[in-house]
Amino acid sequence: MAGKTTGGPIDAVKCPSCGRPNDFRDIHAQQLLDTGHTLKCDHCRRIMKVTAMRVIHLVQVAVDGATAPNRTRLPPPRQATTLGPAATQRLLHGTPRRRR
């Protein structure tokens, strides 16, 4: 019978037993983290086994000063408003607004 599996970024791998995040960066830096290794949860102290690891490539970019062509300036954000019961019904059901 296979156990429950979870995953996440190396600094927040959720325990399959308690669901709380574990930070495995120190273990990985010591080259002790690999498929098949067993680890102990920092919170519930239960044993978990590494079943798979995936390497993700991140790309870092910086502004180079050039502007993109045909970019329009976005309008300033509007303040949020609370809808009344009639407006909420129109929003949810698509009922057309009454004309005055």
Q: Identify which of 37, 5, 3, 2 has the alpha carbon closest to the alpha carbon of residue 19.
A: 5
pTM, rounded to two decimals:
0.52
**Contacts (Cβ under 8 Å, ≥6 apart) of 13:** 6, 7, 21, 22, 23, 24
Tens of pLDDT, residue by residue, the chain (100 residues): 457 888 888 899 999 999 999 999 999 889 888 999 999 999 999 999 999 988 876 777 777 766 666 666 777 888 777 878 888 778 777 756 566 6
The contacts of residue 7 (CB under 8 Å, 6+ apart) are 13, 14, 52
